[in-house]
Structure 1
Amino acid sequence: MTRFDKELAFLREHKGAIIGNWQVKIRNAYPGYYEGDTLLIETGRYFEYITGLHIPKEQHEIMSNAPNWAKRLVENNIPLHHILRSHHYWRSAMHEVLGESRELEVGRVLILLNELEDRMQYYQETVCHIFLELTNAKLSEQERAIIQLHDDRLNLIGKMAASMAHEIRNPLTSIKGFLKLIRENMTNEDGSKVYRYLNVVENEFENIHMQITGLLSFSKKRVMEEPFVQVTPRQLLDSVVSLLNPRFLNENVNLSIELLEEELLTIQKVAVQQVISNIINNGLDALTHVKHDKEMMIRGYVESETYVIEFTNNGPAIRPEIQKTLFEPFVTDKVEGTGLGLAICKTIMQKNNGGISFISVDERTTFTLNFQIREMREA
């Protein structure tokens, strides 16, 4: 027995009307979500919980079923705001029924509604708490699955890259040997033009070699096969720029280089040259869209414990929709691009205790390489 026997008896007498009222509201708000007999069974239990004031809310049997109900909501992809709106519809349905009674005292009805509201609030908070825990667990599981899929994808790329590099390296080794023999067997009578041709071929050979090194960064052997050596930033840059100098001349690009500080960088030289070559080539590709005054600037300087190299061009900005994912595999804005270049660059820089980033706005794109020089000095 409770002090609200009369009011509770009235509610139970109109149980069907209250539940029916609630169902109309929830189904109109979210059509297709709440159909079938299961809903009728659960709403009946919930009504008994709300009106069962003689049983403390914490001890009511419905609380033991709250985890199952929350799990069912998550499995059926029911949004959290449905739970909150449902609470509002229950309160509204009971208000409407109680408001039709002329026999009940308004003051007592208001006090009763406060107690019923407390029970509804308690159940809602319990279900919401479990719902959020289950949702977070589900999201974590999905994230792990995505990471695994991403790793599997990279492993596949690695196997393909290693296979391609192996097949290409064999004939390249032969080509390099024959180029060396040709140069050794040439005489002064053969003319300077042939020497220039040989220089071009050897430069292109080195460029291909760097591309293969980049591909190997996705294989299991990766770039860790290459030893670490000490080079100055100028030594690092000059060898790459000399290879790309014909392109700067042919495409009428003004190149300026400012290396304000010189440091010894302990790096994998060929791998990092691949990064620099990729960045410069991407910049030159962007400058093909510029009609006049094509410019590229390379700056090197020390900032705190870091040596920084910046590559800036005045080409168009990188499209905003791909900027956040630019270093991920297969992301590119080039029609015939593979989307692997910058992903390879990121891997190489990480292996060399460095980082790569960029800023791109209209008529100014800057890629930045960072090398930790404090650890280099200690090493």
Structure 2
Amino acid sequence: MTRVDKELAYLREHKGAVIERWHAKIRKAYPGYYEGASVLLETERYFEYLISLHIPKEQHEILSKAPEWAKRLVEHNIPLHHILRSHHYWRNAMNEVLAQNRELDPVSTLLLLNELESRMQLYEETVCHIFLELTNARMTEQERAITQLHDDRLNLIGKMAASMAHEIRNPLTSIKGFLKLIRESMTHEDDSKIYRYLNVVENEFENIHMQITGLLSFSKKRVIEEPFVHVTPRQLLDSVVSLLNPRFLNENVNLTVELLEGELLTIQKVAVQQVISNVINNGLDALSRIKHDKEMGIRGYMRNDAYVIEFSNNGPAIAPEIQLTLFEPFVTDKVEGTGLGLAICKTIMQKNNGGISFISADDRTTFTLTFQINEQSEA
């Protein structure tokens, strides 16, 4: 007999007690996961592998079944830590059974446990390696499916945007033409109220035009590609602020504007104005949730080779759970929001050799538009 034969024979004789102890521990830790005859069958096979010391662990047939077992774990969404905990419970169960016999030699018992530990580790490493490979493959496939779904949704939006532009721009063009005719046919003696009404209608017309331009950034087949033009920051901002001025007044928001003059931006003016309109409106929406003094500041300045425009407000912070994905489509914390506004803004800014970013804290949120002066070119 070898030095551990007696201990090994005792362990084999008490196979049922070992398995029962392991099963009790694993069921207590993870109720509902390890029930049924198939689990017990696999458990008996594993026990035979452990005590078959006459078969080198690397050559045991159970290793060929490790992929099947790992696949089953993945299919049943069993976490990796279950495998590690199971190893621990096997060690405890065998220790407890061997400790019941005080006639066993402690040194031989320790030698046996070391050999059993070595076999457990090999099987655990094999299963964990395959488990991780299968899990990574599944995650890659899921990411591919999510990406495809995401792309399909964007393509659908693009088709809807192109269709909408075709259906809406034609009547808008007619409306704009008739507004021009009305204005040209009026005399100075006509009611000044009519002039004011015409100004309101024309301003709203421009707002609708900007909204359509923004949505078209998702369309691969743009109806009209807007040209790049040279504008100053003041020219870019003034028309947007004037359109939104009634909202600033109605909602008691104090607006301050500080712009560094003298720079020229080469951009798609209407598209970028849509970005500015979206950012300002989002800020006003945030300010509507506070009762104290409402403030919004717009600041423009040069930073290295870029012109930067900051839009800050003292409203509440953006929800932390959406900050990392705020510029992705369909991400929003508004009840009736589509989650497309900032995604459109990001697309427009990228097309205009710029960028959009933000920082948000409890007392202030700032969105930053960056325009690369040296990289801008006419298209």
Q: TM-score, normalised by structure 1?
A: 0.91
Q: What amino acid does structure 2 have at the position aligned with 1:374?
A: N
Partner of 1:140: 140
Unaligned runs of 5+ in 1: none
Would the alpha carbon gap of residues 24 and 332 (structure 1) be closer, same or farther in structure 2, given more than 3 Å must change?
A: closer
CA separation in 2, counterparts of 1:314 and 1:21? 62
Partner of 2:228: 228
SS of corresponding position for 1:104: coil
SS of corresponding position for 2:271: helix
Matched-pair identity in %: 83
SS of corresponding position for 2:133: helix
CA separation in 2, counterparts of 1:304 and 1:54? 74
Partner of 2:68: 68
Partner of 2:45: 45
CA deviation vs aligned residue, 1:59-100 (integer Å, no higher than 9, x gap): 221112212211111111111111111111111121122222
Q: What amino acid does structure 2 have at the position aligned with 1:307?
A: Y
- Range with bigger deviation, 120-129 or 159-168: 159-168
C-alpha root-mean-square deviation of aligned residues, in Å?
A: 2.4
CA separation in 2, counterparts of 1:8 and 1:167? 84
SS of corresponding position for 1:374: coil
Partner of 1:210: 210
Q: What amino acid does structure 1 have at the position aligned with 2:18?
A: I
CA deviation vs aligned residue, 1:334-372 (integer Å, no higher than 9, x gap): 444333222221221222222222222334221111222
Q: Conserved in 1, the CA contact under 8 Å of 2:3 and 2:108? A: no
**Is structure 2 residue 264 aligned with structure 1 residue 264?**
yes
SS of corresponding position for 1:230: strand
CA separation in 2, counterparts of 1:50 and 1:225? 71
Would the alpha carbon gap of residues 229 and 40 (structure 1) be closer, same or farther in structure 2, given more than 3 Å must change?
A: same
**Is structure 2 residue 370 aligned with structure 1 residue 370?**
yes
Superposition deviation, residue 195 in structure 1: 2.9
Partner of 1:169: 169
CA separation in 1, counterparts of 2:114 and 2:261? 74
Q: What amino acid does structure 1 have at the position aligned with 2:274?
A: Q
**Is structure 2 residue 30 aligned with structure 1 residue 30?**
yes
CA separation in 1, counterparts of 2:209 and 2:263? 26
SS of corresponding position for 2:279: helix
Q: TM-score, normalised by structure 2?
A: 0.91
Would the alpha carbon gap of residues 79 and 237 (structure 1) be closer, same or farther in structure 2, given more than 3 Å must change?
A: same
Partner of 1:15: 15
CA separation in 1, counterparts of 2:39 and 2:210? 65
Task: Give the alignment of 1:1-379 within 5 angstroms.
Answer: 2-222=2-222, 225-260=225-260, 262-291=262-291, 293-376=293-376
Unaligned runs of 5+ in 2: none
Q: Conserved in 2, the CA contact under 8 Å of 1:224 and 1:351? A: no
The number of residue pairs the alignment matches comes to 379
CA separation in 2, counterparts of 1:317 and 1:235? 30
Q: Conserved in 1, the CA contact under 8 Å of 2:214 and 2:344? A: yes
CA separation in 2, counterparts of 1:336 and 1:143? 28
Superposition deviation, residue 205 in structure 1: 1.0
